[in-house]
């Protein structure tokens, strides 16, 4: 097979790195060679963050550049726009219909851009969902990342991987039921 | 065989364990920090610590190598500037047991002030340079590093980059191997760098380097992957992985792990077997210039930029002119700069200082570097660790000599104070400076992800440690008026600034409140709410630059998910529209 790449983008603290780890655990279990890249440091302080996952029979580079991602998962919609150039023209985007104003927007120095979702949907095959609302309906905003993860697994079409089993192995027992429900709801939202 | 998904940094820690390392010392710095955060799990087999700075860490590790234990120190690239002094002398003296210095470079400056290429340090200091490409190599190459260090009697520089350190890939473990036991006896000609000894030692260094140069041609870290004879690529570090993705299947590779000294016989032989030779390296033409100087034709930096990190798509475009296919969106994302967290104790300090008229504030490196950003706009400069005090002192002397009247503050954090702020504080007192040194003591090394320091009361192994009291140090230096203040109380903060400026004896400020992200401290968390009937929409609350405070429908609005109830915004509200409730 040709190797595949995903890019998970959001704002520091949203759980993009953790979600990427669940994805990687599944890919490892399925026997793929996997590489993952993340950046720490400055970016954690409310800045824009991205994590990349690259998998296949044998993969070399842990990072990708422009026009190389098969899949994007955007935890925040302006971040989807920021990283859109990483997507292949026929790439797929899973987008959280959720906005976090940046400090410059909050301070009134900039305005939050209009039409992020529409621009993405006009250019790429998109699965858009309100993961925050789905998570709140399930009882906790904290499982928003697993809702997005569920939608991502649908978009990925890696159906030979038992993702529920991977979640069981990754998530502490206390939060297992919530996260399984979040996963299923996310998957259903991407149907 | 079980495979473990590990970052390069975690793999280096594992590698140190497997290579029989016994003494480890480091100062945190992105992207190197997680190496030492991963070491305490092996503390039954090795000793590990956070040192006050990189020079100290290097000296401690070198001392251990003299004493008879394999040792390692680690730092970010600019940390090696601080540690260069002991490294250069260790190169002349040599070692008793293996000594490895890890430098984690930061191409593209994800968290740094420059993208210096530290490979040149190895050539400059005349020591071995080893560069792993992925996590398995990060672990495995360390054993060879200790072999080289002990066999050729020199420190080894072990270089990663952000992507090598922070990328995760699969690693197979090995067993721990202990070094040959060593009993210390005094060896003055070797370890006392007096001029007469150094004179002799230089000849020894040249001899050892020549032997290593010969060995580099058969070193197992350098390998030939012969495919076709059309195109050959010489590469190392992360650039090798990018090149593997980009060049066609039938390309031959000379993959280098030991890159100083370069295996020139191996390179010459490889070059003779291919029609076209590329040298692919990130940042500077470190290998290319040496290969060209040896009379071997190759292509590299005329196509591949020496600026910013590479990736496969960027490399493909630069080498073959293949522009990646992307779609242009009609919408552009706005900026999202990093900011001080809600409830950050630095906010009250910078808000107060930023309002001072006719004031110059020299900043430093840490979370508080963000005090320069809008809307706080507080600091004038940020140069290097410890520079907050001494750049301010130099500016004050320039102002005095050129007739400029300014109030001058120098700002460092608690970890930075112990790193190299203390010498600057001594400088200001000793040379009659007109600077007010300020220490922002949040009880932790914050920006690198919360490491302990000599003021925090704990060490890397999680044990309770002696906590050095910063105001006592300043007082002992001769600051007769050290004002300790809670920066979250804006009235007290303003009074501290006024008192320091009016002081007739040397004054200093210790702005003290622990970082809210420290888990072992119980924080008083509350929540601020806006009374929209009282709010006049003046936006004064936005001037504190808190990500939780914003304007909605022309009134102040506080995000309950982000707010922790620090009340700094409430204190600046002119109509008392913001109040705190318990959470």
| Sheet with strand B223-225: strands edge to edge | B223-225, B252-256, B231-236, B276-280
CA B504 → CA A107, B265, B434, B499, distances in Å?
39, 70, 11, 10
| Sheet with strand B71-76: strands edge to edge | B47-50, B23-26, B71-76, B99-105, B156-161, B128-130, B258-260
Tokens describing residue B187: 């060896």
CA-only gyration radius of chain B, Å: 27
Residue A2 is predicted with a pLDDT of 83
Residue B532 is predicted with a pLDDT of 96
Please give the backbone phi and psi of residue B119, each rounded to the nearest 5 degrees, phi first: -60, -30
SS3 labels along B434-493: CEEEEEEECCCECCCCCECCCCCCECCCCCECCCCCHHHHHHHHCCCEEEEECCCCHHHH
A45: confidence class by pLDDT, cuts 50, 70, 90: low
Beta carbons of B167 and A141 less than 8 Å apart: no
d(C-alpha B19, C-alpha B70), whole Å: 8
Q: Which residues make Cβ contacts (< 8 Å) with residue B549, sequence separation at least 6?
A: A106, B541, B542, B556, B557, B558, B559, B563, B569
Residue B301 is predicted with a pLDDT of 98
Tokens describing residue B506: 């040397």
Interface test with A, best of B7, B330, B331, B373 (most A CBs within 10 A): B331
Tokens describing residue A6: 């995903």
d(C-alpha B408, C-alpha B392), whole Å: 7
d(C-alpha B12, C-alpha B324), whole Å: 34
Please give the backbone phi and psi of residue B246, each rounded to the nearest 5 degrees, phi first: -100, -40
CA A133 → CA A20, A180, B26, B220, B557, distances in Å?
21, 16, 45, 56, 21
What one-character DSSP code corresponds to residue A143? G
What's the rounded mean pLDDT across residues B442-458?
A: 93
Residue B508 is predicted with a pLDDT of 98
d(C-alpha B537, C-alpha B552), whole Å: 9
d(C-alpha A60, C-alpha B237), whole Å: 12
Q: Which residues of B touch A67 (CB under 8 A)?
A: 313, 324-326
Q: Which residues of A touch B326 (CB under 8 A)?
A: 66-67, 84-87, 89
Beta carbons of A36 and B542 less than 8 Å apart: no
Min Cα–Cα distance to chain B from A157, Å = 23
Q: Which residues of A touch B109 (CB under 8 A)?
A: none
Residue B288 is predicted with a pLDDT of 98
Tokens describing residue B433: 């400076």
d(C-alpha B83, C-alpha B90), whole Å: 11
d(C-alpha A77, C-alpha B188), whole Å: 65
pLDDT beyond 80 at B570: yes
d(C-alpha A173, C-alpha A179), whole Å: 10
Beta carbons of B329 and A120 less than 8 Å apart: yes
Lowest-confidence segment of A89-98, B191-200, B545-554 by average pLDDT: B545-554
d(C-alpha B14, C-alpha A165), whole Å: 29
pLDDT beyond 60 at A42: no
Beta carbons of A42 and B333 less than 8 Å apart: no
Beta carbons of A36 and B162 less than 8 Å apart: no
Other beta carbons within 10 angstroms of residue B272's beta carbon come to: 10
pLDDT beyond 70 at B35: yes
Beta carbons of B169 and A62 less than 8 Å apart: yes
Domains defined for chain A, CATH in brackets: 4-101+112-190 (3.40.920.10)
Min Cα–Cα distance to chain B from A164, Å = 20
Please give the backbone phi and psi of residue B41, each rounded to the nearest 5 degrees, phi first: -65, -20
Beta carbons of B313 and A66 less than 8 Å apart: yes
What's the rounded mean pLDDT across residues B413-417?
A: 97
Q: Which residues of B touch A111 (CB under 8 A)?
A: 334
What's the rounded mean pLDDT across residues B564-579?
A: 97
Q: Which residue of B has its CA nearest to A2?
A: B245
Interface of A with B in 80-99 (CB under 8 A): 81-82, 84-89
Q: Which residues make Cβ contacts (< 8 Å) with residue B180, sequence separation at least 6?
A: none
Q: Which residues of B touch A78 (CB under 8 A)?
A: 333-334, 336
CA B324, chain centre distance (Å): 33
Q: Which residues pair with A71 in a beta bridge?
A: A6, A92
Contact B406, B358 (CB under 8 A): yes
Which segments of B307-430 are extended strands (E)?
359-362, 407-413
Beta carbons of B3 and A104 less than 8 Å apart: no
Predicted ipTM of the assembly: 0.93
Q: Helices B422-430 and B470-477: crossing angle, nearest 10°? A: 30
Residue B332 is predicted with a pLDDT of 95
Interface of A with B in 153-182 (CB under 8 A): none
Interface of A with B in 6-25 (CB under 8 A): 11-12, 24-25
Q: List Cβ<8 Å contacts ≥24 apart for B299-306.
A: B304/B280
Beta carbons of B336 and A39 less than 8 Å apart: no
Cis upstream peptide for A39 (omega within 30°): no
Q: Which residues pair with B530 in a beta bridge?
A: B578
Q: Which of A35, A64, A101 sits opposite B550 (nearest CB)?
A: A101
Domains defined for chain B, CATH in brackets: 3-216 (3.40.50.970), 223-320 (3.40.50.920), 346-512 (3.40.50.970), 526-582 (3.30.70.20)
Beta carbons of B336 and A38 less than 8 Å apart: no
pLDDT beyond 70 at A41: no
Lowest-confidence segment of B251-255, B259-263, B448-452, B487-491 by average pLDDT: B448-452
Q: How many CB pairs under 8 A join A and B?
A: 191
Q: Which helix (H) or strand (E) holds B290?
A: helix B286-293
State whether residue A56 sits within 8 Å of chain B by CB. no
Contact B58, B79 (CB under 8 A): no
Min Cα–Cα distance to chain B from A68, Å = 7
Exposed / middle / buried, residue B124 (Cβ in 10 Å: 0-12, 13-18, 19+): middle
What one-character DSSP code corresponds to residue B299? B
d(C-alpha B351, C-alpha B537), whole Å: 20
Beta carbons of B547 and A103 less than 8 Å apart: yes
Tokens describing residue B1: 């065989």
State whether residue A60 sits within 8 Å of chain B by CB. yes
B449: confidence class by pLDDT, cuts 50, 70, 90: confident
Q: Which residues of B touch A68 (CB under 8 A)?
A: 312-313, 324
Q: Which helix (H) or strand (E) holds B213?
A: helix B195-216
Q: Which residues pair with B225 in a beta bridge?
A: B253
Q: Which of B167, B331, B447 sits opposite A81 (nearest CB)?
A: B331
State whether residue A121 sits within 8 Å of chain B by CB. no
Q: Which of B5, B166, B338 sits opposite A38 (nearest CB)?
A: B166
SS3 labels along A40-68: CCHHHCCCEEEEEEEEECCCCCCCCCCCC
d(C-alpha B32, C-alpha B16), whole Å: 14
Q: Which residues of B touch A36 (CB under 8 A)?
A: 5, 167-169
Please give the backbone phi and psi of residue B243, each rounded to the nearest 5 degrees, phi first: -65, -35
Residue B282: CA count within 13 A, CB half-sphere: 30
Beta carbons of A68 and B313 less than 8 Å apart: yes
Bigger pLDDT: A42 vs B146: B146
Q: What is the pLDDT of residues B105-116, one digit of tens each?
A: 999 999 999 999
Cis upstream peptide for B510 (omega within 30°): no
């Amino acid at each position: 097979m040709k190797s595949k790449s995903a890019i998970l983008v959001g704002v520091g603290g949203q759980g993009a790195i953790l979600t990427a780890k669940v994805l990687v655990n599944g890919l490892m279990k399925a026997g793929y060679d996997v590489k993952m890249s993340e950046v720490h440091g400055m970016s954690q302080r409310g800045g824009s963050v991205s994590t990349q996952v690259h998998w296949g029979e044998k993969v070399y580079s842990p990072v990708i550049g422009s026009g190389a991602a098969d899949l994007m998962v955007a935890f925040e919609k302006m971040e989807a726009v920021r990283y859109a150039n990483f997507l292949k023209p026929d790439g797929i985007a899973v987008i959280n219909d959720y906005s976090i104003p940046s400090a410059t927007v909050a301070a009134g120095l900039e305005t939050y851009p209009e039409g992020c979702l529409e621009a993405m949907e006009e250019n790429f095959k998109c699965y858009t969902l309100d993961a925050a609302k789905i998570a709140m309906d399930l009882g906790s905003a904290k499982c928003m990342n697993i809702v997005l993860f569920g939608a991502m697994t649908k978009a990925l079409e890696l159906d030979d991987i038992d993702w529920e089993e991977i979640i069981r192995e990754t998530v502490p027992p206390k939060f297992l039921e919530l996260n399984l429900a979040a996963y299923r709801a996310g998957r259903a939202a991407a149907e | 065989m079980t495979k473990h998904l590990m970052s390069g940094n975690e793999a280096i820690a594992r590698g140190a364990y497997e290579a029989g390392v016994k003494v480890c010392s480091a100062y945190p710095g992105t992207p190197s920090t997680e190496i030492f955060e991963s070491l305490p799990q092996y503390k039954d087999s090795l000793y590990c610590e956070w040192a006050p700075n990189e020079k100290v860490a290097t000296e401690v590790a070198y001392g251990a190598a003299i004493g008879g234990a394999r040792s390692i120190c680690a730092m970010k690239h600019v940390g090696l500037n601080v540690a260069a002094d002991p490294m250069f002398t260790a190169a002349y003296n040599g070692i008793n047991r293996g000594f490895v210095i890890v430098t984690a470079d930061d191409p593209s400056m994800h968290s740094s002030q420059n993208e210096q290429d530290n490979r040149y340090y190895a050539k400059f200091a005349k020591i071995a340079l080893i560069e792993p490409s992925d996590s398995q190599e990060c672990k495995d190459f360390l054993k060879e590093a200790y072999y080289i260090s002990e066999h050729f009697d020199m420190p080894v520089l072990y270089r990663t980059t952000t992507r090598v350190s922070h990328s995760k890939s699969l690693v197979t473990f090995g067993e721990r191997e202990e070094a040959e036991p060593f009993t210390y006896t005094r060896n003055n000609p070797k370890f006392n760098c007096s001029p007469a000894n150094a004179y002799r030692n230089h000849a020894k260094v040249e001899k050892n380097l020549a032997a290593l140069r010969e060995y580099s041609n058969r070193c197992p870290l350098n390998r030939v992957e012969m495919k076709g004879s059309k195109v050959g690529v010489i590469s190392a570090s992360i650039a090798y992985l990018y090149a593997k993705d980009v060049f066609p299947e039938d390309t031959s590779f000379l993959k280098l792990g030991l890159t100083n000294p370069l295996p020139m016989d191996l390179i010459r032989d490889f070059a003779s077997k291919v029609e076209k030779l590329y040298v692919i390296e990130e940042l500077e033409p470190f290998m290319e210039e040496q290969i060209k100087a040896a009379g071997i034709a190759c292509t590299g930096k005329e196509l591949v930029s020496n600026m910013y990190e590479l990736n496969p798509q960027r490399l493909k475009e630069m080498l073959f002119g293949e522009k990646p296919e992307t779609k242009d969106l009609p919408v552009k994302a706005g900026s999202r700069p990093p900011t001080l967290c809600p409830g950050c104790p630095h906010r009250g300090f910078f808000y107060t200082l930023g309002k001072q008229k006719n004031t110059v504030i020299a900043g430093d490196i840490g979370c508080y570097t963000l005090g320069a950003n809008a809307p706080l706009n507080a600091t004038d400069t940020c140069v290097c660790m410890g520079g907050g005090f001494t750049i301010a002192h130099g500016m004050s002397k320039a102002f005095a000599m050129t007739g400029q009247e300014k109030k001058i503050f120098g700002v460092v954090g608690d970890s930075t104070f112990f790193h190299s702020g203390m010498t600057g504080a001594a400088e200001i007192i000793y040379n009659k400076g007109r600077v007010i040194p300020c220490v922002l003591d949040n009880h932790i090394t914050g920006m690198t992800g919360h490491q302990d320091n000599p003021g925090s009361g704990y060490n890397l192994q999680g044990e309770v440690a002696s906590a050095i009291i910063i105001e006592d140090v300043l007082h002992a230096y001769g600051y007769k008026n050290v004002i300790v203040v809670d920066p979250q109380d804006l009235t007290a903060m303003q009074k501290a600034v006024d008192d320091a400026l009016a002081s007739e004896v040397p004054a200093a400020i210790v702005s003290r409140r622990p970082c809210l992200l420290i888990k072992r401290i119980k924080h008083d968390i509350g929540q601020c709410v806006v009374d929209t009937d009282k709010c006049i929409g003046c936006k004064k609350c936005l001037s504190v630059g808190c990500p939780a405070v914003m304007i909605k429908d022309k009134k102040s609005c506080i995000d309950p998910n982000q707010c922790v109830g620090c009340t700094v915004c409430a204190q600046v509200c002119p109509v008392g529209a913001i109040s705190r409730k318990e959470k």
